[in-house]
Amino acid sequence: MQEENLDAAIETLLNVEKQMRLAGDVAGTKKAVTDIVELCYRARAWKTLNDQIVLLSKRRGQLKQAVTAMVQQAMQYIDETPDIDTRIELIKTLNSVSAGKIYVEIERARLVKKLAKIKEEQGLVAEAADLMQEIAVETFGAMAKTEKIAFILEQVRLCLDRQDYVRAQILSRKISPRVFDAVASKEKKKPKEGDNVVEEPPADIPSLLELKRIYYELMIRYHSHNNDYLEICRSYKAIYDIPSVKEDPEQWIPVLRKICWYLVLSPHDPMQSSLLNCTLEDKNLSEIPNFRLLLKQLVTMEVIQWTGLWEMYKNEFENEKTMLGGSLGAKAAEDLKLRVIEHNILVVSRYYSRITLKRLANLLCLSLQEGEKHLSDMVVSKSLTAKIDRPMGIICFQRAKDSNDILNSWAMNLEKLLDLVEKSCHQIHKETMVHKAVLKA
């Protein structure tokens, strides 16, 4: 009996909707459509609700405003569904109705996000990632900036979860890091006539600074896959600069520790050197003196004893497992030793123009073969210039000058010589004039 009453009520409202639609009455059509949807919801007739949504969207000359109102109304009932199957069915129905319609593109993006979350909870991560990748929110003019960023970050996270690192990198490039530096306190400009009205983001969307942290945490996950220590360090530096992190010692101390470790693990280059000196100037580093000493050793042009260094910092290295961001990775201990060896070779190249291979190996506490291997690797990577005379066992750190360099040095020497001659002539002329003046007097 209740079903008959529901069908009769829907039939009546469908006739009203038809009259309003043919008359071009936007407000009346919207009300009729939403009343039908609400009627089905109150009766808990979920199958009828799905059927009516499809039927109403396909009616001839259906108004855009009516479809938008219907989709928005039905979206409120998704969380009220009795079971997961009914929920998925309702989301799929709304998805099919909103597919290809620009005026409900934001609603479709939110629906896909809900469906992807359900799939992920069911353990279907790959399927959830594929669903999210279908939506290109960066083209949505009416979507709020924070909601766009949150959606793209969710796409990146799902790609990382399924270990699709190439796609994760492509998606992450849709977000410019400069967008996080925008001042949140700026007053919103009133939209001009003809401009797209930007919708307010839902309440569950994080703030811009929270999104910044999520973005860099995902970037740390991505760069950890490639062991790109310098990029990981820069990501931690960006997290460290967030005001809420800098104000709380419990948050910034673990982050600053990670910055120091990854600076030490990064290969020597101008950017690493710049970051290293910048971090040493940070006053907060005095709170963790062990790490200040560690960075100071890298800046000082002195040979570092690996065994002594490892004994001093082994416990600190192990303690990272219990701190923010977890352990430094399986290869980190090996890479740390490698960076110390590279530092020592650079120090030796500063103080020696020629040295025997045996003496170099002795200074580095390595065998002859290991010393030669590490030196060769640094020459190949162009970290320094050196030549090895293997029969004699001598390393020469002096770079062979080409003809241009020799000519330039000669030209410089001639310039200096002419400058000296000119100064001498000036002094002689001056003395002569002084003596002539004295004689005349």
Q: Are residues 10 and 29 in the same domain?
A: yes
Provide, rounded to the nearest whole percent, the portion of the chain with pLDDT above 70: 93
91 domain residue, yes or no: yes
pLDDT of 204 over the 80 cut: no
Q: Are 130 and 190 contacting, i.e. CB atoms less than 8 angstroms apart? A: no
Provide, rounded to the nearest whole percent, the portion of the chain with pLDDT above 90: 6
If you average pLDDT over residues 122-129, what whole number do you get?
86
What is the 8-class DSSP label of residue 302?
Answer: S
CA distance 56 to 97: 10
| pLDDT at residue 216, as a whole number | 92
What are the residues whose beta carbons fall under 8 Å from the beta carbon of 6, sequence distance 6 or more? 39, 40, 43, 45, 48
- Token pair, residue 324, equals 């923010």
Quickly state the pLDDT bin for 369 (edges 50, 70, 90): confident
Q: Measure Cα distances from 94 to 112, 124, 133 in Å.
A: 10, 21, 18
Q: Are residues 283 and 266 in the same domain?
A: yes
Q: Are residues 4 and 94 in the same domain?
A: yes
Q: Are residues 339 and 361 in the same domain?
A: no
Quickly state the pLDDT bin for 425 (edges 50, 70, 90): very high
Helix or strand or coil: residue 156? helix
pLDDT of 428 over the 90 cut: yes
Least confident stretch, 164-173, 283-292, 426-435:
283-292
Q: Which domain holds residue 389?
A: 357-423
Q: Are residues 262 and 338 in the same domain?
A: yes
Quickly state the pLDDT bin for 4 (edges 50, 70, 90): low
Of 69, 99, 129, which marks where a domain is finished?
99
Q: Are residues 7 and 90 in the same domain?
A: yes
Of 317, 351, 385, which marks where a domain is finished?
351
Q: Are residues 59 and 79 in the same domain?
A: yes
Q: Are 106 and 142 contacting, i.e. CB atoms less than 8 angstroms apart? A: yes
85 domain residue, yes or no: yes
The sign of the torsion formed by the CA atoms of 33, 38, 40, 41 equals: positive
280 domain residue, yes or no: yes
Q: Are residues 1 and 95 in the same domain?
A: yes
Of 51, 73, 99, which marks where a domain is finished?
99
The one-letter amino acid at 408: N
State the alpha helices, DSSP H only, in 228-331.
Answer: 229-240, 243-246, 249-265, 270-280, 289-299, 306-319
153 domain residue, yes or no: no
List beta partners, residue 53. Answer: none
Q: How many residues appear in the chain? A: 441
Q: Higher pLDDT residue, 411 or 201?
A: 411
190 domain residue, yes or no: no
Least confident stretch, 25-34, 111-120, 321-330, 412-421:
321-330
If you average pLDDT over residues 91-115, what whole number do you get?
85
Q: How many domains is the chain built from?
A: 3
Q: Buried b vs exposed e over 324-335: b needs ≥16 C-beta within 10 Å?
A: bbeebbeebeeb
231 domain residue, yes or no: no
pLDDT of 184 over the 50 cut: no
pLDDT averaged over the chain? 83
| pLDDT at residue 420, as a whole number | 92
Q: Are residues 334 and 294 in the same domain?
A: yes
| pLDDT at residue 189, as a whole number | 53
90 domain residue, yes or no: yes
249 domain residue, yes or no: no
